[in-house]
């Protein structure tokens, strides 16, 4: 009986091992969308900040990232970039990746193809004007993508990126809940969703103050999303 159990246990271990290997070797895309890196990234992870820039919150987040030597990716809303171009320039100068998150942050499912293209183009133009850089990555508002949206973005030279860890900071989660949420879900190659432009009463900055030292102590290395994709075979 013991021998049979051993046999099944070794089968299960072999299956788990091959599943892990398959994941490591699998391309990071699903439906043409990047959700995370692969286990081959090792302990590289990408922090992403959506919806900004915000005139008060974004500079505070930039200061904290700089203090810890952390590079992140900002998914920028075009009309906010036009309102605060100096903050977009500071993000670029700080070595962070600048990415496209639409112009008005409206739901793309109700837009025509021409309107979707305009949302992406106007945001690209605002980021280019502010920081002299053209985004390579795109994230639709609310992460609501479809086959059509992905292929329109692709036609404009953009990779669509979503996330695997939602910090729930947007839902006004308490600081410790955001922290626990990340601790429980972070893994090799994670793309983590934060927001730098939020309603009042959110705890993104407070959670980051605890999370950055914690993630470093666990050996995680912070890279931009493009760097994460490049290190994902
Ligand atoms: Zn958003």
Alpha carbon dihedral 95, 101, 105, 110, in 10-degree steps, equals 180
Peptide bond just before 53 cis, omega within 30 deg: yes
Question: Sign of the C-alpha dihedral, residues 77, 79, 82, 87?
Answer: negative
pLDDT for residue 48: 98
The residues that are catalytic are: 50, 195
Task: Give 112 Cα–ligand 1 centroid separation in angstroms.
Answer: 19
Interval 176-228: pLDDT, tens:
999 999 999 999 999 999 999 988 889 999 999 999 999 999 999 999 999 99
> Does the pLDDT value for residue 40 go beyond 90?
no
How far does residue 136's CA lie from ligand 1's centre (Å)? 17
Residue 32 CA, distance from chain mean position: 16
Locate tokens 């900071």: which residue? 169
Between the CA of 4 and the centroid of ligand 1 the distance, in Å, is 53
| Dihedrals phi, psi of 54, to nearest 5 degrees | -110, 135
Give the pLDDT of residue 26. Answer: 56
Nearest to 131 by CA among 102, 98, 157: 98
The per-residue pLDDT for range 118-138, each reduced to its tens digit, is 999 999 999 999 999 999 999
Q: Whole-angstrom Cα distance, residue 51 to residue 80?
A: 8
- Cβ(52)–Cβ(196) under 8 Å? yes
Is the separation of the CB atoms in 233 and 38 below 8 Å?
A: yes
Say how many Å lie between the CA of residue 6 and the centre of ligand 1. 50
Give residues with Cβ within 8 angstroms of 148, minimum separation 6.
113
Q: Are 23 and 38 in contact (CB under 8 A)?
A: yes
| Torsions phi, psi for 231 (to 5 deg) | -95, 15
Predicted model pTM: 0.88
Distance 51 CA to ligand 1 centre (A): 5
Instruction: Output the CA torsion sign for 29, 221, 227, 48.
Output: positive
The tokens for 152 are: 């329109």
210 versus 1: the higher-pLDDT residue is 210
Q: Does domain 27-230 have CATH number 3.20.20.370?
A: yes
On the CB side of 66, CA atoms within 13 Å amount to 12
């Amino acid at each position: 009986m013991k021998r049979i159990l051993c046999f099944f246990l070794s089968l299960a271990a072999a299956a788990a091992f091959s599943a892990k290997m398959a994941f490591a070797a699998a391309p990071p895309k699903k439906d043409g969308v990047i959700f995370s890196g692969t286990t081959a990234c090792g302990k590289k992870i990408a922090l992403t900040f959506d919806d900004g820039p915000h005139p008060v919150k974004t500079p505070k987040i930039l200061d904290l990232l700089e203090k810890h030597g952390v590079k992140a990716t900002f998914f920028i809303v075009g009309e906010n970039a036009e309102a605060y171009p100096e903050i977009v320039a500071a993000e670029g100068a700080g070595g962070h990746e600048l990415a496209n998150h639409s112009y008005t942050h409206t739901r793309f499912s109700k837009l025509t193809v021409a309107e979707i293209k305009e949302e992406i183009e106007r945001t690209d133009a605002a980021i280019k004007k502010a920081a002299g850089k053209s985004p390579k990555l795109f994230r639709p508002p609310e992460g609501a993508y479809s086959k059509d949206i992905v292929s329109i973005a692709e036609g404009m030279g953009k990779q669509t990126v979503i996330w695997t860890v939602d910090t729930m900071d947007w839902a006004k989660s308490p600081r410790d809940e955001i922290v626990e949420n990340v601790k429980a879900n972070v893994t090799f190659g994670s793309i983590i969703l934060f927001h730098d432009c939020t309603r009042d009463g959110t705890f993104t900055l407070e959670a980051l103050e605890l999370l950055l030292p914690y993630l470093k102590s666990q050996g995680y290395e912070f890279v931009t999303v493009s760097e994460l994709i490049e290190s994902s075979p």
